[in-house]
Structure 1
Amino acid sequence: MFAIYARAANGAIGKAGKLPWHLPADLRRFKALTMGPDGRGLPMIMGRKTFESFPAPLPGRRHIVLTRRERWDSTGAELARSVDEALAKAGGDAAVIGGAAIFDVFLPHCDRVELTEIHQDFAGDVFMPPLPAQWRELAREEHPAQGDRPAFAFVTLEKGA
């Protein structure tokens, strides 16, 4: 299981239910990683607000939504009421895609983080702290700023002992 998210230099990961930036390369990477190496699509674990931020369920992937809401239109999603239930529904490999509270409870279950580090501060209303020291960097791919798009890096981290 792995977590995947983009984080600004100041820790922002969202603003008003959306990403505070537009990076097409990051969206392509997100799709490639959540579709999995065989292209069949991985189960994605997320919170209700993250699911509701999509215009429609993302094609080819299962959407497992952890929520405490008793009444909620879950069309296109599989509901989970606990971390254990979400893990059981996901089975083996899955992508944890947000938001911050979901990352907080699922990071202990992840062995990898696929992070897009955005080398600029952005205004936001949802923030993620830096990862603890137990996470070590395996790979980094830097991308320069282009026009109004900030510089960023694709970083793969794994949990150390």
Structure 2
Amino acid sequence: MITIIAAAAENNALGKDNDLVWHLPDDFKRFKQLTTGHHIIMGRKTFESFPKPLPNRTHIVITRQSDYNPKGCIVVNSLEKALEISKNDETPFIIGGGEIYKLSMSVADKIELTRVHDEFEADTYFPEIDLNSWKLTRSEYHGKDDKHGFAFTYLTYERIK
């Protein structure tokens, strides 16, 4: 089951200058819980936004750069190749960025989206979710608190067969 995982604002903003524009510790914990032990597929810029590779996950980086070879990663030049490498993982995760999300919307089975309840100026956006193709199957609201400057909702969408 190919799963897209993302956090996006009400206006679908993902980030700016290769960084998130909010800090939600509970969302980071959920990301870690869901993706640990799995393949995580991402674009080069997303990978480069990490201080180091994330522990206990197989990193697959998609790039057009033929000489790109970061330590601890598998480097490919297409989403198709990344998915081929991930075929033995029951749940590979597509973790961004914007272009990789767009490419993966037609092949994913599930979307785990954290909807941040605000709008942000950004340079990277999550694609629109076509509700003719996707059904909301789960929703869990989290209000703003002393650790979270914004309210957010975990949304799970599954592809309509």
Please state how far the C-alpha of 1:81 moved relative to its aligned partner.
1.4
- Is residue 45 from structure 1 mapped to residue 41 from structure 2 by the alignment? yes
- Is residue 56 from structure 1 mapped to residue 52 from structure 2 by the alignment? yes
Taking structure 1 as the reference length, the TM-score comes to 0.92
Matched-pair contact (CA < 8 Å) for 2:14–2:126: yes
Please state how far the C-alpha of 1:62 moved relative to its aligned partner.
0.4
Unaligned runs of 5+ in 2: none
Please state how far the C-alpha of 1:75 moved relative to its aligned partner.
1.4
Alignment of 1:121-140 (within 5 A): 121-133=119-131, 134-140=133-139
Please state how far the C-alpha of 1:84 moved relative to its aligned partner.
2.1
Q: Aligned with 1:55: secondary structure? A: coil
Q: Aligned with 1:78: secondary structure? A: strand
Alignment of 1:1-161 (within 5 A): 1-35=2-36, 41-91=37-87, 92=89, 93-133=91-131, 134-147=133-146, 149-161=149-161
Worse-superposed segment, 76-85 or 132-141: 76-85
Taking structure 2 as the reference length, the TM-score comes to 0.92
Identity among equivalent pairs (%) = 40
| Corresponding residue of 1:38 | none
2:160 and 2:152 map into 1 onto residues whose CA distance is 24
Unaligned runs of 5+ in 1: 36-40
Counterpart of 1:141, as a letter, is E
Worse-superposed segment, 110-119 or 70-79: 70-79
Worse-superposed segment, 100-109 or 47-56: 100-109
Question: Number of residue pairs matched?
Answer: 156
Worse-superposed segment, 17-26 or 141-150: 141-150
Runs of 4+ in 1 over 4 A off after TM superposition: none
1:85 and 1:11 map into 2 onto residues whose CA distance is 27
Residues 52-74 of structure 1 deviation map (CA, whole Å, 9 limit, x = unaligned): 00000000000001110122242
* CA root-mean-square deviation: 1.2
Residues 73-112 of structure 1 deviation map (CA, whole Å, 9 limit, x = unaligned): 4212101112221111111420000001101111222110
1:153 and 1:53 map into 2 onto residues whose CA distance is 24
